[in-house]
Amino acid sequence: MAAIEYQLAQANIARTRDTFDSAIMAGLVARIEEMNELAESCDGFVWRQQGADVTAEALLAFEQHHSPFEADRVFYNMSVWESVEALRSYIYKTAHAEMLRAKDDWIEDSDEPALVLWWIPVGTIPTIADSAKRWQTLRTEGPTEAAFTMSRLFPKPTT
């Protein structure tokens, strides 16, 4: 029996300082497409959730965990990468690092995790509901093989 190959899924969810059409959020909104195109051009990029699919209805999977929940103030993205190293390179070694340094301009402080990582078999496309379950696991159990963070990584499964 052949071993299963794995890739890294990531989801990022955070509460924004205001709605996306506000002046406060203009700097982030102006660069979202640029960041998406940059990610797609990076070595090791596999897939990303398209913005049109990130609806208020789909984000309700996170509702019970964010209070108050306002879908128009949720920053969410999800993508799949060949490896932790590929994702790390995009996050910290491209223009995305500028966005990360400025995140406090757009994102509210929270004790909740903003990023969740998990391994998926190659060819799997995660759903928003999948990411909400992983995020909840991280939130309640801390980093585990099922859901982890950049600061507490777990290796690819060996099966």
Residue 24 falls in which region: left (phi positive, over 0), alpha (psi -120 to 50) or beta: alpha
Strand 45-48 versus strand 115-121 pairing type: unpaired
Which class is 6-141 in CATH? alpha beta
Contacts of 15 (CB under 8 A, 6+ apart): 66, 70, 73, 74, 75, 107, 108, 110
The whole-number pLDDT of residue 60 equals: 66
The whole-number pLDDT of residue 23 equals: 97
What is the Cα–Cα distance from 119 to 33, expressed in whole angstroms?
Answer: 26
Residue 155: Cβ-neighbour burial (10 angstroms; 0-12, 13-18, 19+): exposed
pLDDT tens readout for residues 29-48: 999 999 999 999 999 999 99
Per-domain boundaries in the chain: 6-141
Find the helix or strand (DSSP H, E) in which 7 lies.
strand 6-15
The whole-number pLDDT of residue 70 equals: 76
What is the Cα–Cα distance from 147 to 153, expressed in whole angstroms?
Answer: 9
Q: DSSP class of residue 21?
A: T
* Residue ranges of the chain whose pLDDT lies below 70: 1-2, 55-56, 60-69
- Specify the residue for token string 């709605």: 19
